[in-house]
Amino acid sequence: MPELPEVETIRRDLTPRIVGRTIIEAWVSPNAPKLVQAVPAGRQGELADAFCRRLAGRRIEELDRRGKYLLIRLDGGVTWIVHLRMTGGLIHSRGGCEGLPDGRFLRARFGLDDGAALCYVDLRKLGTMWLTDDESAVVGKLGPEPLGEAFGPRELHRLLEKRRAPVKAVLLDQGAIAGVGNIYADEALFEAGIRPSKPARALSRRAAERLHWAVRKVLMEALEDRGSSFRDYVDAEGEQGMHQLRVKVFRRTGEPCYACGTAIKRVKVGGRSTHYCPKCQR
């Protein structure tokens, strides 16, 4: 469930701890056969072994993020890309990966030259990693970064007016906007006073402006809180985020709206659980 604020928190935490370090050994559990992905997709087989061999000996130069993807740039023009999906976590540990609370879900381990390790844990094993010299093969089709300068209210309106899908489905479409998932889509639509099921192209220019403001507001507040931990998300030190304590609609079904007291409703929009206030959101 990590979305933009959670992946960005991990990126910021890991940067001072691992930039400049060299990966001395890499191990992927035979228990996680889908963790390492080929670019372009297809050829499997010896993939995990080749991935580990190619990672070992490389120096970590910088950490970047696109949407929900963490990009770990290594020497030699190679990027290690990580997508945590639902339950993945990348934890920096000075004491190796054995004593971690979620140690039984350890799917990969990366030893560093200062004796620390990056421990990849993943209960449901949906997370994926790539090693590539062509980042665009993995992240090239993502939409703009919602906190970036290229994403203005006009850009959002232009994007919405072409789509007849529910506005929430467009917010979740990573090719439209990168990094927004179920939590922050629901929260942003509440802040903007917009019904999640409303067709995107029915939004006025004013409504698109409000939504643009709301998306940025909820993402920035969640970043300040170091992300939301509803179930599995932990930061790079294995600690929970705090933003789940400040959400206004997400998973508050039946509880009173903070603005008007009406019970928060839960419906499915585009196949996803969606929470909203029937009075405040039109």
C-alpha distances out from residue 101 to 87, 93, 234, Å: 14, 12, 11
Active site (annotated) includes residue 199: no
Q: What is the 3-state secondary structure (H, E, C) of 104-160?
A: HHEEEEEEECCCCEEEEEECCCCCEEEEECCCHHHHCCCCCCCCCCCCCHHHHHHHH
Minimum Å distance from CB 262 to Zn ion?
5
In the complex with Zn ion, which residue's Cβ is closer, 236 or 280? 280
DSSP letter, residue 242? S
Question: What's the min distance (Å) between Cβ of 135 and Zn ion?
Answer: 42
**Residue recorded with tokens 């060299």:** 22
Q: Which residues pair with 8 in a beta bridge?
A: none
Q: Which stretch binds Zn ion (CB under 5 A): 22-30, 89-97, 98-106, 273-281?
A: 273-281
Q: How many residues bind Zn ion (CB under 5 A)?
A: 7
Among 257, 266, 276, 282, binds Zn ion (CB under 5 A): 257
User: Which one, 8 or 187, has the nearer CB to Zn ion?
Assistant: 187
Measured in Å, how far apart are the chain's first and last C-alpha atoms?
27
Is there binding between residue 220 and Zn ion (CB under 5 A)? Answer: no
Q: Is 277 in the site for Zn ion (CB under 5 A)?
A: yes
Other Cβ atoms closer than 10 A to 88:
27
CB of 225 to Zn ion, least distance (A): 22
The whole-angstrom separation of Cα 164 and Cα 186 is 18
Query: Least distance in Å: CB of 252 to Zn ion?
Result: 11
Binds Zn ion by CB under 5 A, chosen from 134, 260, 273, 282: 260
Interface residues with Zn ion (CB under 5 A) are 257, 259-260, 262, 277, 279-280
Cite the active site residues: 2-3, 68, 272
